[in-house]
Structures are given as C-alpha cells and as structure tokens.
Amino acid sequence: MIQWIFYAMVYLGSALMAYNIYGFICFTRFIRKMKTWNQGSLILSIPVMLLVFFLLGYIAIGLFAEPSIFVGGVLFGGSIFVFVMYKLLNNIVQRVVESEHLEAQLLAAEESSRAKSNFLASISHEMRTPMNVILGLDTLAMNTPGLPRTTKEQLEKIGHSARHLSELINGILDMQQIESGEMKINSEPFLLMEALEQVNALASSACEEKGLAYCFSFDDCAEQRYDGDVTQLKRAIMCLMDNAVKYTDAPGTVKFIVSGASAQETTRQLHFTVLDTGVGIDEAFLEKVFEPFAQEDESYTNRFGGSGMGLTVANGIVTHMGGRIDVVSHKGEGSAFTITIPMELSHPDAPPAEAGAKQDGDGDADSLEGRRVLIVEDTPENAEIVADLLELEGAQSEHAENGMVAIKMVTESEKWHYDAILMDLRMPVMDGIEAARNIRALEREDARHVPIIALTANAFDSDIQHSREAGMNEHLVKPVEADRLYAVLRKWIRSEIAGRGVWT
C-alpha cells in the first residue's frame, strides 16, 4: 500500500510537470508577442527543454524503478517548486505588462490633454482676434458725434452680444484650466475692502439696469488686509453675483453679505454670501448645480440666457483656493450661495496689491494726452482700431508689424521716445515674448523701464506667466474694453514716469 503512495507521488509529479511545460510554452509565446526578445528568443526555449527532460526522468522512474519515499517526495516537491516559480514569474510579468499598459494610457491621456489645450489656445486666439475688432469698432462707432438714437441702440446691442460671446469664450477656457489642473492661485497682500468696493460697483450697476434692489453688508473682517489671490476671489464672487442677477426678475432683491470669524491667530474664515429672490432651485437639482453646463429647466435658458458655466467656474476657483461653496435654495423663493474660504492675515508692513480698481476701468484721472504708444501687432485691422481708441484719449501711436520691427524702432528712436509698448504675442518673424526680452536687454535705460503691456488673444495662465518672465508689466487679453486699456496705460505710464521723477 505504501509503495503505491510512492508511485502516486511520482505520477502526480509527472502530471504537474506536464502542466508546467504547457504553462511555460504559453508564457514563452506571450513574451515573444511582446516583440522584446527578437535577438535572444532561443533562450526562452531552454526552460521548456529542461522541463521536458525532467518529465522523461519522472516517467522512467515510474516505469522502470521502485521509487522510495525520498525519491517520490523529491520528484513531487520538485514539480510543486517549478509550478510555484512559474506562477510567480508569470504574475510578475503580467503586472509589468499592466503597468506598461497603464503608463501608455497615461501618456496617451497627457498627449490628448496637450492636444486639447493647444486646440483651445489656437481656437481662442482665432476667436478673440475678430472679437477685438468687433468691440473696438463698436466703441469707436459709439463715439461718433451726432449719432442717431436708433443707430446708437443698435450699436449697444452689438456691444452687449459681443461681450456675452467673449464671456462664453472665457468660461470655456476657465473650465478647461480647472479640469486640467492648470489654474494657478497666486498669493499676495491685498485690501479686501477695495476688492469688495469693485464688486459692489459692478453688482449695483447690473441690478440698477435690471430694476433690482441691491444691498451690501459686511463686518469688521472686510477691513482687514489678507494674503491671497484677489483677482480669482473677485471672479468667483462675480460668477455668483451674475447668476443671482440673471435669475431674478424685477422688482426683486439681491444681497451681498460678508462675514468672518477667527479660525486661528493669523487666519480668518471668510464667508461671502449672495442672496436673491429669484426663481430658486429645486432641491433634487442642487447636487448637480455645479456640474458643467447643468441647466435645471431648458425654458430658463430661453428666458434668462446663460451657458451653465458660471457656477462651475466659481466652484473650481474656490476649490483651488482651499474653500467651498454651499447653497440653500427654495423653488420660487430664491437662492443663497455662500463662499467659505480661509484667508491668511497679511503682515502689517506688506505693501497691498492693487485690488484691480484701475483694471476695471476706474483708473486715476491722469490723461493720456500727448503720450506716445508703440503698437506691436501683425493684424492691420487690430492695430488700426487700437490706434483709433488711443486717439480718442489724445494719445499718439506708431505701428510695428512684428517683434523684429519693434526692436528696430525702439533702437533707432530717441531716448524716452515711447511712453508704453502694446505687444501682441503671436506674430510672424519674431513673437512678442522674444521681442520683449530683446527690448529689455538693450543697452539703454528707457528700454529697461518703458512699460511693455501684452495685448493678445493668448489667455491661458501659462501665457501670462511667459509674458511676465519676458519682462512685460501686465497681460491684457483680447477683446479688451477701451476703459480697461486706458486704465492700464495710465497706471504704468504714471508709475514709470514717477520713477524718473518727471511726471508732467
């Protein structure tokens, strides 16, 4: 009976070895399909040949010898050992292949993301350029003396529609940056009350235009100075404000409440609440309200307009800033959106960043009369419109069709001939980034200090970063409002001339 157990161990070991041979053959075929063993594929056959010899030895012992417990145990254990090694090796290779597959998928996704970003950058540039022409011509036409009332109303509608289209383009780009993680949050000291005053000016104007009542209240936290990205904070608040105004009919009310509490010794938990008495949101839809292009009722789109991107952009900005947005709403009664965000108190000696009053067109009263601006722009229509807009303010302008020509004009001009340079980024021969670097590198004082302002359809954060690295003072995105252009020019020309001590 015991001898039959020994024979059983030998034959079971033989059967397991036959399975091992089959497994190694399949494993060898799999490796060869990977096309990584073209030069040394013969080595893959060696384990199979060795296992075949072992199997023949097993069979010979089972047929022509009387195996002992030692021989049976060794043969059966050897088959188990080979089986375990085969499974382990196969598992390792499978994991490596899966890892390579995932890596390939990741690279493909990154390539797809880069292609998407490049496409959006290109299409944004192509859309913004004609938009700049439309808004520029609309502004110039609105300033025509003796304009008939009907024509003026038509031009106002053109301008309104063009700005709406511009907002849609901005919204799409914002969403792309949020989804790709490319949105950058800066940190610099700012006065919160200055930022809130700008939001109030825009919100009260929008409410007045629609016949809505507007209320604003704040506590002591609004008087503080903080470190953070004031530009992105204002954008998020204005997205909520625009949404409130849009979905509230006259004679409704929009309220803006700012409150805060001390989270830590140097941190404040700020709350920015926008309330309205508008149409409200159904409770079942609240969980989808921040999804891209979400619309609770398609009839609202026809009635109020909108693309469904504002709340998504606001939520993305606030999330990137480490905060959250809460919403409470009742159908037919109105909504309350609250931004809760931690803000670090700024050091008392830190100079505050400009909260953007000049950027919103409220700049100082210094005139551009007699100032000379170099417009570096490859599209003649855009250059002509900018020149006409500057002429309305009494400024003179000269035109360079690319960066190379701009460098030559600056080099050959008298010292301090130009008070500012408006620089497009995408141009033939030499782009604006390279041109700005070369101008800053010229061996003359005015070239190192003259304000260079990007005026371009390139709107991504990376574009803004590149323009700053090239030595530009500010980045304006087409289409740019005339008041915004004037305010930025006044700000930097004043700053530069004050630095020379010759403001006149």
Structural domains in the chain (count):
4
390 and 489 together in one domain? yes
Identify the weakest region by mean pLDDT among 125-134, 310-319, 459-468.
Answer: 125-134
Q: Which is more confident, 257 or 291?
A: 257
Task: Compute CA 50 distance to the chain's CA centroid, rounded to the nearest angstrom.
Answer: 59
Closest C-alpha among 472, 412, 399 to residue 442: 412
Residue 300 above 60 pLDDT? no
pLDDT for 357:
38
**Helix (H), strand (E) at residue 483:** helix 482-500
Which contacts of 122-129 are long-range, i.e. CB under 8 A and separated by 24 or more positions?
A: 124/169, 124/173, 124/457, 124/458, 124/459, 125/426, 125/456, 125/457, 125/458, 126/457, 127/169, 127/457, 128/166, 128/169, 128/457, 128/459, 128/477, 128/478, 128/479, 129/379, 129/382, 129/457, 129/478
138 and 58 together in one domain? no
Residue 188 above 50 pLDDT? yes
332 and 212 together in one domain? yes
Mean pLDDT of 410-434: 94
* Phi and psi angles of residue 249, each rounded to the nearest 5 degrees, phi first: -90, 155
Give first-to-last CA distance, the chain, whole Å: 117
Identify the weakest region by mean pLDDT among 13-27, 72-86, 106-120, 251-265.
Answer: 106-120
140 and 97 together in one domain? no
Global pTM reads: 0.57
Average pLDDT, the chain: 82
CA–CA distance, 113 with 393 (Å, rounded to integer)? 43
pLDDT for 503:
37
336 and 198 together in one domain? yes
Mean pLDDT of 432-453: 94
pLDDT band for position 394 (cuts 50, 70, 90) = very high
SS3 at position 318: helix
379 exposure class (CB count in 10 Å sphere: 0-12, 13-18, 19+): middle
pLDDT band for position 481 (cuts 50, 70, 90) = confident
Q: For residue 159, give its domain range.
A: 122-180
CATH number of domain containing 326:
3.30.565.10
336 and 307 together in one domain? yes
196 and 336 together in one domain? yes
Residue environment code for 450-479, b if the CB has 16+ CB neighbours within 10 A, otherwise e: bbbbbbbbbbbeebbebbeebbbbbbbbbb
Identify the weakest region by mean pLDDT among 101-110, 339-348, 377-386.
Answer: 101-110
pLDDT tens-digit profile of 220-254? Answer: 888 888 998 888 899 899 999 998 998 898 889 99
CATH number of domain containing 397:
3.40.50.2300
